A and B are shown apart, each in its own frame.
Chain A
Amino acid sequence: MTAVSTTGHGMSARLDAPAQGALGVSLLAAGALFIAAPVLALLARALFDGSGEFVGFGNFSAYFAAPALTDSAVRSLRLSAIAAAITVALAYGYAYGLTLTQMRHKTFFRAAALLPLLAPSLLMAISLVYLFGHQGLLKDWLGRPIYGELGIVVGSVLWTFPHALLILIASLSAIDARLVEAARTMGASPWDVFRTVMLPASRYGVAMAFAVVFVLVITDFGVPKVIGGQANVLATDLYKQVVGLQNFAMGAVVGAVLLAPAIGAFFIERHLRRRQASAFGARAVPYMPEPWALRDRLFWGYCALVSALLVGVLAMAVYASFVRLWPYDLSLSLRNYDFDQMDGGGWITFWNSLRLSFGTALAGTVLAFLTAWFVVKPRRFGALRDAVNLLATVPLAVPGLALGLGYIMFFNAPSNPLSGLYATMTILVVCTVVHFFSVAHLTLVTALSQLDREFEFVAESLGVPFWQTLARVHLPVVLPALLEVAGYFFVNAMTTVSAVVFLYAPHTQLASVAVLNMDDAGDIAPAAAMAVLIFVTAALVRLGFMAVERWALTRTNRWRLR
C-alpha cells in the first residue's frame, strides 16, 4: 500500500518540471498581454496624430510648446513635492509615536490614521469643500477660499497620510536596539540618540515615503478635480485632453509624461529598499522603548491632534451626506442617497463596484499567489522567473490613468482578437488586478520567502509533487498574507477611479466613478453620500477579513507559537 502510493508520488513529481514550466510561460504570456502590451500601446499612440499619421516626437514638442500644458506640469511637480514633504513630516512624528514610545492607545491611533485608505481620494476633497468652501462650516478660519493649489495640497496630504505612515512605521520598527544601547552607554542625551541613531536609520524610510507620496499625488486626479479650482495639473489635463478635447494622441503624450516621475520614483524606491535591507544586519535586535512620561504624553497629544483632524474631516462628509440642502436647510434626510434620481448612474453602480471588488480580490489573490510562488520556489527556470518577477513589478511604475488609457488603445482596436473584452466587467477586473498587482506580489513574495527551503527539499526527496507541497505547506503558511492581499485588492477596487474612468461601460458603471460624475454635475451632497457608502463597505469588508485572518491564524498557524 505504502509502496504503491510512493511510486504514485514519484510519477507525478516527475511531471513537476513541465507543469511548472507551463505555469511560468502562462504567467509570462498573461503579463505580456495585460501589462506590457497596453503600456506599449499608449507609448506608441503618443507618436501618431489624430488621423493615424506617424509624427515621431511631434506630439511631444507640441505639448511642450503649449504654455497651458507645461504650466500644469510644473505645478504638478511643485505641488506633489510640497504635499509629499508635509505628509512625510507629519507622518514621521506619528510613526515615531507608534513605534518608539510607550504612549497609550496605540492601537486606536494606528487604526484612526489608516481610515483614509478605505475611502476614495475624492471623499477628503469633498469634505474640504464642506469645511472650507465658500459655504463651509469653518470658512472664516482660512481667510481665503480653499479652491486651487491650497486645496490640492491639503486634500492630498489627508489622503496620502496613511501611505507614508505605513512605510515609516516599517522603517522605524527596524531600528537596532544595540545601537541605541551603545549610544546611551557612551552618555548620549535622548536628543543625541535621536540625531545619531534614529534619524540616520530611518533616512531610507523617509526618502521612500517621500517618493511614494510624490507619485500618488502627481498621478491622482480626484483631489484636483474636486477642489483644484483653476489650478490645472497633469492628471486633470490628461482627463480633459481625452474626454473633453477628444484628443487621444495628446492624452497619450500626457500619459507618457506622467510615466516619467512614476518610473523615476520606482527606481529610487527599489534602490533605497536594497540599501535599507543591507543597512540592517540579520542580527539586529528590535528596540523596545521604555516608558518616559513626558515624551509619551507629548506624542500622545500629537497623535490625538492628527487623528482628530483625519477623523473630523471624514465625519464632516458623513454629516453633509445626510443634510437636506446645504447650507440653507440643515435638516437631516436620506434624500442624497436616492442615487437613482441623480446623474452618475444610480444604485446599480454600487452593486457593480461590489462585483468588481469581489472579482478583483478573488482573481488578484489567486494570480498573485501563483506568481509569487513561481518567482520564489522552483529551482529551475532562472531567466523565466526573473522575467515574470520584472513584469509583476511594472504596474508599480504605471499610473492608473496611463494604464486605463493604454487599455482602451490596446483592447478597443478592432484588429485585436480580444476586443470583445472591451466594455465588459472582465476588462475592469483585469485592469484593476494589474493596477494593484505589484504590492500584492511583493507582499506574497516576502511571505513565501520566510518559509525555509528545507520543507521543499524534504517533500521533493519524498517524491511529493510540487502542487501538493504548494497546497499543504505553502498555502496555509501564507494564509494571513493572502487574506491581507485579498483585502487590499477589494478595498482598492472599491475606491479606485483613475484606471477605470476610461473603461467603464453602461452596464458596468462604478460607484467611485459615480462620485466623480455626481460632483461634476454639481450634485456634491449625493457624491459625498456615495463616497461614504464606499467607505463604510470597505471598512466592513476589511473588518470581515481581519476576523477571518484571526480565525485562520489560530487554526492553521499554531506551529508558529511553538
Chain B
Amino acid sequence: MFHRIHRAMASVALAAALLPLAALAQGKTELLVYTALEADQIKAYQEAFEKDHPNVSLKFVRDSTGIVTAKLLAEKANPQADVVWGLAATSLMLLDREGMLMPYAPKNLAAIKPTMRDARNPPTWVGMDVWSSAICFNTVEAGKKNLPKPATWEDLTKPVYRGAITMPHPASSGTGYLMVSAWLQMMGEQKGWAFMDALHQNMGVYTHSGSKPCRQAGAGEFPIGLSFEYRANKTKKDGAPIDIVLPAEGLGWDMEATAILKTTKRPEAAKLLADWATSRKANELYAKNFAIVALPGVQEKLQFIDADIEKMLVKNDFGWAAANRDRILAEWSRRYEAKAEKR
C-alpha cells in the first residue's frame, strides 16, 4: 500500500514536472478553459477533444456558474482564460455586454438549432445543451415524516414541507438563477415574488451550488432538493433513494454555451475547440448528460428523466434574464437574506 502511494506520488510529481516540457517539445498549444461543467463530465469531453486534436491540450478552471462568471469579470483587465466552454448563456451575455467575447462562426454553426445560439452573425456564443430544473425527493425520509410527493411548484409552498426544502442561492448558482428567472417570467413579477415569499417559509437552507440540494436530498439531510436534471439522474444512479419530480407548471432552464475570449493569444487553437464543441461527436457526449442538446437528432434519453422534458421547458427570454440579473438578485437578497434567521 505504502509503496503504491509512494510510487503514485513520484509519478504524479514527475508528470507535473514534465508535462509543460513535453508540451513544448511537441509544439503543443495549451488552452486555458473556464467552465461550470460538472467535474464528472469534463474528463470525457477533454479526452475526446484531445484525441481529435493532439496538438492542443486543455487546462480547466471549474467552479459554480456564479463564481466562474465573477472570476471572468474580475479578470476583465487581465483575462486569463482563452475559451469558455460550458457556462450559462445568461452569464456569457453579461461578458458580451462588457465586450469580452470574440465573434466567431464555428464550422458546424449551420446545423445548430437556431434557438440555441447568439442571434447575430457571427455569434459571440453558441449553445451546447439545455439544463433545466428538477426536484429530488427522498422517498425514505418522506416516508418517515409522512411527506406527500409534490407534483407542482405550488405544492412546495404547503406548510407540511416547512424546513424540508433546499434550493441553490441564485447569486452564486446558475441553477438557482434559472429557477428564479423562470418563476418570474412564468407567473409574472408580482405573483412570482409572492410564490417565493411562501417558498421561503419552507426553505431549510439556500445552498451555494446547484448540485448540493440534490446531493443533500440523496443523503436525507433535507428531503426535498431543488436542483437540475443531470445531477438528479446521477444521484439516483449512485444509489440514493430519490424520486425525480418535474413540476407540472414548467421547468426553468438555461443553456450551456461556448465562447472565445477576445483577448486570447491562441486564437487558432481556440477556434479549433469552438469548432469541435459544435461537432456531432461533442453533441453525442453532451447527450449522455443532458436530455436536450444543440444539434438536432442526437438526443438520447436519460435513464431516470422523462423523454418529453423538452416540452416542459417554460418560455425563456434570455435577453430579459441577463439584463435584469442584477436587479433580480438585489431584490432577492433584500427579501430573503435580511430576515432569513428571524422566521
Contacts and interface: CB of A to CB of B under 8 A. Distances in A.
**For chain B, what secondary structure do more than half of its interface residues adopt (helix, strand, loop), or is it mixed?**
mixed
Contacts, number: 138
Contacts of B198: none
Given A244-B66, A505-B80, A522 B207 contact: yes
Contact of A506 (B60, B66, B204, B220): B60
B213 interface: yes
Interface stretch (B126-134, B243-251, B332-340): B332-340
B337 A232 contact: yes
A536 interface: no
Given A133-B221, A325-B240, A506-B59, A422 B78 contact: yes
A506 B80 CA distance: 10
Given A71-B338, A242-B70, A246-B70, A520 B61 contact: no
B279 interface: no
A346 B62 CA distance: 11
Contacts of A346: 39
Contacts of A229: 204-205
A343 B38 contact: yes
B341 A148 contact: yes
A348 interface: yes
A243 interface: yes
A481 to B, nearest CB: 31
Contacts of A414: 77-78
Interface stretch (A88-96, A118-126, A179-187, A326-334): A326-334
A329 B239 contact: yes
Given A68-B338, A230-B340, A344-B39, A240 B172 contact: yes
Contacts of A325: 219, 238-240
A21 B131 CA distance: 63
B140 interface: yes
Interface string A274-288: 000000000000000
B220 A135 contact: yes
A246 B39 contact: no
Given A240-B171, A351-B16, A522 B341 contact: no
Contacts of B206: 230
Contacts of B341: 75, 148-149, 230-231
Nearest to A341: B40
A507 B66 CA distance: 20
Contacts of A112: none
Interface residues of B, number: 58
B4 to A, nearest CB: 12
Interface in B183-210: 203-209
A134 interface: yes
Nearest to A412: B78
A483 to B, nearest CB: 24
B117 interface: no
B61 A505 contact: yes
Contact of A522 (B32, B60, B214, B338): B214
A135 B32 contact: no
B298 interface: no
A245 B80 contact: no
A129 B221 CA distance: 9
B241 interface: yes
A232 B206 CA distance: 11
Contacts of A507: 59
Interface string A335-379: 000000111111110010000000000000000000000000000
A327 B220 CA distance: 8
B63 interface: yes
Contacts of A520: 64, 207-209, 212
B336 to A, nearest CB: 9
Interface residues of A, number: 55
Contacts of A232: 337, 340
B205 A419 contact: no
A50 B341 CA distance: 30
Interface in A213-267: 225, 229-232, 240, 242-246, 248
A326 B219 contact: yes
Contacts of A343: 38-40, 62, 209, 211
Given A68-B337, A133-B221, A148-B341, A244 B212 contact: no
A145 B166 CA distance: 14
Interface string B307-328: 0000000000000000000000
B74 interface: yes
Given A343-B62, A506-B61, A520-B64, A68 B77 contact: no
Contacts of B80: 422-423, 505
A145 B162 CA distance: 13
Interface string A516-556: 01001111100000000000000000000000000000000
B211 A521 contact: yes
B217 to A, nearest CB: 9
A327 B221 CA distance: 9
B67 interface: yes
Given A229-B205, A408-B74, A522-B207, A244 B216 contact: no
Contact of B212 (A344, A347, A422, A522): A522
Given A244-B171, A246-B73, A68 B59 contact: no
Nearest to B223: A134
Contacts of A422: 78, 80
Given A135-B220, A348-B12, A522-B216, A244 B172 contact: yes
A143 interface: no
A210 interface: no
Contacts of B169: 240, 244
A185 B67 CA distance: 67
A244 B171 CA distance: 5
Interface in B211-233: 211-216, 219-222
A521 B209 contact: yes
B259 to A, nearest CB: 17
A145 B338 CA distance: 21
A68 B63 CA distance: 26
Contacts of A246: 66, 69-70, 73-74
21 contacts: A68-B338, A148-B341, A149-B341, A225-B208, A230-B205, A232-B337, A242-B74, A243-B70, A245-B70, A246-B73, A342-B40, A343-B38, A347-B12, A351-B13, A413-B78, A506-B59, A520-B207, A521-B209, A521-B211, A522-B209, A524-B219
Given A348-B16, A413-B78, A520-B212, 16 more contacts: A68-B337, A75-B341, A147-B205, A148-B341, A231-B341, A240-B171, A242-B70, A245-B171, A246-B70, A329-B239, A343-B62, A351-B9, A413-B77, A414-B77, A419-B78, A422-B80
9 tightest A-B CB contacts, nearest first: A522-B215, A522-B212, A230-B340, A244-B171, A244-B172, A68-B337, A68-B338, A246-B70, A343-B39
Interface of A: 66-68, 71, 75, 129, 133-135, 145, 147-149, 225, 229-232, 240, 242-246, 248, 325-329, 341-348, 351, 408, 412-414, 419, 422-423, 505-507, 517, 520-524
